[in-house]
Structure 1
């Protein structure tokens, strides 16, 4: 067994769990009890040791994947010379009697649609990232796997029986048209679940996802207008909802760890955490599509997590508020396509990333604009944050790309410090004057001067990555007009756009995040959200034809099931990085909002933001 391309995986999940299912019918990645827990099925990171749950025809077959319309229920279709079968995967959502224990389940339903197929089932759990000694046995309630205090139960309903052998359970069955089998995976509990109960739970899950889709579809329709991107917007919103913790509204950046930015490289990170930056973008995108409750709950949770000393604020947290994200290595795993190391935890939590302050203040500013009630205690915390920014903005940090090198004066970090001051001043104007706005205003002016004097390079004809370079381009500079630091028509903004198009845009229409003598090749990859930033900046600059071409080119790289990775290799079209990526789906939604805001003559009206549809793409109010 080799490694499948990431583009051949769909994802299913609920509230706080996800599983990646390949087009070969195999669950190759699934962690219980939560997304950031150790894997139970981990073949994605080691084809031999990781563990899997596969259901596939024994004969050669063609297969394809798609989602049941307006849901996160995945359908994999197998076609052989003798017949056709559909495998449906989902985790339970909705229903009146759902509780945390029964959320720890995965349902698989195999049905022969036409003809006849012989199918092989192979269940090989491997607890604790395949570190635990796993025993697989047959008991009265079905197959049970145990290891290191964990238990996984597998119930099978249909004309097949599985037998334990050598740490796995296997079986083969020949299905005729109309025959079907239910497989019910239950973590750390067992409850008999009849086929009738399985069908009821599936119906409840369909209703849950379709009800959510309906809450956003009417707004999404008005956002898209006449453009043919409604399905992509709804799918992206469903992915973001899938990656959102229902209790905290924290958003997992991705449900996977250590999928490499470059094959054979070491840039393999654990993304199963809540980045302040990424999640702010995500909840705003959902708010723009009608789900403002998620944004409000997220800010309430985040304020609770971050309410201590501003100097102690981390750029990322666990989705349940964890602060200790210490990094370790799983050296016994080969890594996806032998790209080691496999990491658990993320040391970026210990980095100083000054942009976090701007993200926090900007996010609360957006929430207030939507009607969020900022309490007096929360306002005092905002004051402390903005005062802290006055103290530290002129210090170096690790930046948005989290390079593990000496800290630098990154332009993006300075930009977000300016945002913290600017939006802080705006918020202070709405309250009784107990803030040092004179100091904030003076520091904002100093910051602007520093960015304009030291962040723009006449040599490059562009804003650059950090203060100590005249030539290193960075796609993050595309955010300068989006945050309204400078107007889109400013000559420096226009020349930066041209520099990005000339220096970072690939022949395949993808945007590399950075390029320069101090950027290693592994750090120059084409990141999808950078492509979407370019779309947004081009729209603001009234270069709508270029923006639309860039956007459609990105979509040309993605087939069903329409999930977006972090990166795409421009040379091969291969998906890279952790998958699916919340930041990429957020970028798609925002770009559609920008493109949908232009007039019929493809120009952006002066009063486009805010508009009569109540949407505020990215940060424009």
Structure 2
């Protein structure tokens, strides 16, 4: 039986990440990168697709008694109380030197508890059983390009049985056994060994030093710091790119087919991510993300993609893994993402808005940055009238999405503002002002429904879209404009799922993306609603909604992409890839909007 999505916690080393369940099982881990093949894929299949469980004997498959991150870290403590006593398993992935290491430290707390470790390594997303051997006190697994070494300190006996590796031992108060699992290319020699106990000490110190840089001191600071730590964990440190999530194919509907690979970097997240990092005090991370953005989008503006690989890779072909049954039977499991081929005009606005924000915030400029911005504007001047697939990557045909056109306006507006702030830059201020005015006029004429006093999802439609809530945030119209307040009210009334949760859009989902079934409420949209309420003068309502949204995080403070209440908010379920960067970016930005002016340093 599958655990729920919210039953997992995240550990990682800023190059990849693992999901640890309440039952002490690591069910997802891709090595050596976020987008590599998984060696533990039980999350999307069953135990035979790979996992590593450490738990008290007799408690296998049962949830722990309690668990938590050590404050301001990504170090996870999972504890069980048993009739024989209590035991803790501490999980972490220390920042790597030459190779990724997964450290699991078992510590007795009281009594004397027998603990069992069961390791099933299955490379290539659970499809390949490696050859196991012993070497220098290690268990070594090899298959094709992958090699994994397992050792314990102090050494405990391990044995193989039915294509898995077992260990069993007992610990009393203060006694510890550490396991280290290390990956390296099979053609290379084994990397240097790490001391697991020193790795724990250094990881705790490093994470706390990083978290201490957070300038936010308002309500729900713990949730804000946890979200920032999560964003840091989803950063691919060698390049500065931030993945949307560390997982693929976690469903938007249980048993459904809307299962996508999110282990890539989306341009749509750029401005919101940059703003969150800069406002919270993380200029180095913001600059690394800005630099990743510049490298990724370099080239012909007509070839701009909506997403890229961790290092800016462009080819992300989508295919299915038929040997995996999917999370709770939600098939197919997809690798890659064909949405990379879509035209989404809004990303041009998001890129130009990000670079405008970076310049205004004092990040050092880069050679050719302004020339690239001008090239993007030249493309938009020629192409902005085209329909596109929109922010939500619909697969049901192109439309004139209002949000896409609004972001074209943002692109022209930010270019004009940049020239006004620095007249020494070369540009086309008259042409860009004309573009800004023409787009604004057309959106207000064709994207607004005067009968209902609301903007619509696309020209001529009656459907609504939660992305319309961003209209006052990006400055397209002032917050007190009646068309803005009318849109906020209409979106809340028509897309509301109860308790302030919002769906992305109101039309039948299958008519938009061409796939059967439905989805849950999209969490970042609810944060946008809180922002819009605050901007339109309803700050108390916004703060009440923010309190509600923070409470939807799981027991260790993590949020997925979506949330489903099914008529009972108390019995809600997290849905979609997990943890989701967009949701945590929304949490940080809303906290800063509601409380940052008078509570951030």
TM-score range, shorter chain: over 0.9
2:209 pairs with one of 208, 211, 215:
211
Q: Deviations over 1:214-255 (max 9, x none)?
A: 111xx111xx2xx3x110011111000111122221101000
Question: For the Cα contact (< 8 Å) 1:10–1:65, is it kept in 2?
Answer: no
Q: Deviations over 1:47-76 (max 9, x none)?
A: 143200110112346422210111111111
Q: Deviations over 1:285-306 (max 9, x none)?
A: 1111111111222222321221
1:117 aligned to 2:113? yes
Q: What pairs with 1:74-113 in structure 2 (closer than 5 Å)?
A: 74-93=76-95, 99=97, 101-102=98-99, 104-113=100-109
Structure 2 CA distance for aligned equivalents of residues 581 and 301 of structure 1:
20
1:463 aligned to 2:455? yes
| Cα distance, 1:192–1:393 mapped onto 2, change above 3 Å | closer
Moved more, 83-92 or 549-558: 549-558
Question: For the Cα contact (< 8 Å) 1:508–1:570, is it kept in 2?
Answer: no
Question: For the Cα contact (< 8 Å) 2:477–2:484, is it kept in 1?
Answer: yes
1:422 aligned to 2:413? yes
Structure 2 CA distance for aligned equivalents of residues 496 and 192 of structure 1:
59
1:437 aligned to 2:429? yes
Structure 1 CA distance for aligned equivalents of residues 457 and 157 of structure 2:
60
May I ask how many residue pairs the two structures share in their alignment? 585
Q: Deviations over 1:181-232 (max 9, x none)?
A: 10100002635747xx22112111111111101111xx111xx2xx3x1100
Tell me which residue corresponds to 2:13.
Answer: 14
Q: Deviations over 1:281-338 (max 9, x none)?
A: 2232111111111122222232122121100111100011111001111011101001
RMSD of aligned alpha carbons: 1.8
2:72 pairs with one of 66, 70, 84:
70
Provide the TM-score with structure 2 as the length reference. 0.94
Structure 1 CA distance for aligned equivalents of residues 426 and 273 of structure 2:
32
Q: Deviations over 1:559-612 (max 9, x none)?
A: 321101100112241110000001100100111111115xxxxxxxxxx6xx89
Q: What pairs with 1:348-359 in structure 2 (closer than 5 Å)?
A: 348-359=339-350
| Cα distance, 1:180–1:382 mapped onto 2, change above 3 Å | same
Unaligned runs of 5+ in 2: none
1:4 aligned to 2:6? no
Tell me which residue corresponds to 2:156.
Answer: 160
Structure 2 CA distance for aligned equivalents of residues 83 and 280 of structure 1:
50
Unaligned runs of 5+ in 1: 598-607, 615-621
Structure 1 CA distance for aligned equivalents of residues 535 and 216 of structure 2:
20
Runs of 4+ with deviation above 4 angstroms: 191-194, 517-524, 611-614
Q: What pairs with 1:608-619 in structure 2 (closer than 5 Å)?
A: none
Deviation at 1:523, TM superposition (A): 5.0
Tell me which residue corresponds to 1:617.
Answer: none
Provide the TM-score with structure 1 as the length reference. 0.91
Tell me which residue corresponds to 2:127.
Answer: 131
Tell me which residue corresponds to 2:381.
Answer: 390
Tell me which residue corresponds to 1:404.
Answer: 395
Deviation at 1:519, TM superposition (A): 4.8
Structure 2 CA distance for aligned equivalents of residues 238 and 246 of structure 1:
13
Secondary structure class of the residue paired with 2:502: coil
Question: For the Cα contact (< 8 Å) 1:113–1:178, is it kept in 2?
Answer: yes
Question: For the Cα contact (< 8 Å) 1:474–1:514, is it kept in 2?
Answer: yes
| Cα distance, 1:410–1:562 mapped onto 2, change above 3 Å | same
Structure 2 CA distance for aligned equivalents of residues 232 and 613 of structure 1:
15
